[in-house]
Every structure is written in structure tokens, then in C-alpha cells.
Amino acid sequence: MCIRDRIHSALQEDIGSGDITTECTVPENLMLTGRFIAKSAGVIAGLEVAAHVFRYLDPEVKTAFVFRDGDLVTEGDLIGTVQGPGRAILSGERVALNFLQRMSGIATTTRRFVESVRDTAAVILDTRKTVPGLRLLDKWAVRIGGAGNHRFGLYDMALIKENHIVAAGGIRSAVAMIRKKYARSRRIEVEVTALAELEEALGLDVEMIMLDNFSLADMRKAVE
């Protein structure tokens, strides 16, 4: 699904057969202007998505933003304006804000983690633990916040976890099975739960190793 599909789905969920209140109270030819105001400090994200929501409902709606995705805003900042047919603005307002607020929240939280490791070689990555149907936007917000994307789904990378290891008969055999089918066209990551498993995984020429529930002391040993 592309972003337009997600916008369509969100608007259909919210508007359904029609915005009863707006259709009854707002004249068809009424033009309105709205402002986006920051209610708190953070990283702004999702401006283009919000703009697309309004344009999807009516191409005559125009948005103009003072900031760009990834910029820091403070409480009270004017982020931008929206102008055009009133019905489209009022009917799309909540969906546009939902996307904007969620993505900005993710980007803001992500930036905190990124800043916390700024003086190290560590790279912050995300997970697949996203809201169903919003993964593309959630992961986009992570990148706006300054972090990187892990795998997008089960299809673009192999992540061998405990259940896979048991089913395959061990870490070595699990890696061999995947290499046999995909060679090097898919990255392989192995999740390990102990230093002994780490030692085994290190000898298998995999691209990534995940340390699962390691203590800080064991994590330091693993990194060394």
C-alpha cells in the first residue's frame, strides 16, 4: 500500500458516507483559513502527509508550511496554514492532525534516543512493532527523527529467532537453510540469548546479531 492508500483508508474510516455536520452547516462555496500551531516542543514530522489529506478531498486546498519535516518546533510556533474550500478543510482536519501528531510524536521520541548516543558509534533502529496499516508512516517518522529502519517486514530480511532455531535444529542449520535459498540476496540476522550462542553466530558470517535480554555486563562482553 502506498501513502495515498493509507490516506484514503483513514478518510473513509472517519468520513464514511459523509460528514453530516459539515455538509449541513458549511456553505458549499465558503472558503476558510486554518493554522497549524505547535502545542508543545518537539520534532515536526508528517507535513506532506497532512497536506495530501486536504488535497485528496479537494485539489483547491492549499497548504503553506513555515517548517520542514525534521525541524524542531517550540510551543506556540506557527507551523503553517491551510486555505481553501471550507468543507474539505473541516472534513479532513482530524485525519490530517492525527497523521501529523502521531508522526511528530514518533520523530520526537526517536530524536531523544539518537541524541543520547550522539557521541558513540551506535545507530538507533526501529522494529516491526508498528500500528497495523501505518508501518510505512511510522518508519518514515523514525527516519525523520534521525534513526534508521530495521526490516520493513518478514519479506526483506531474515531474522532467526528462538522458535526458528528450535524448528531448524540449531543456529547453524537455520542459517544454512536461508543461504541455500537466497544466497546473499537477503540479509540474515540471528537473535541470541547467551554468550555461547553469540560465539556460534559470529562464525557463520551473518550480517547482524541481536542480543536478546542480555544484562549490561554480558552486553559489554558481547560487544567486545
Q: What residues are labeled active site?
A: 94, 129, 161, 191, 212
Nearest to 86 by CA among 36, 25, 14, 16: 25
The conformation of residue 160, written as its DSSP 8-state character, comes to E
Angle at which helix 86-116 crosses helix 135-144, to 10 degrees, equals 60
43 φ, ψ (degrees, to nearest 5): -95, 125
**Total residues belonging to the chain:** 224
81 within 8 A of 34, measured Cβ to Cβ: yes
210 φ, ψ (degrees, to nearest 5): -100, 130
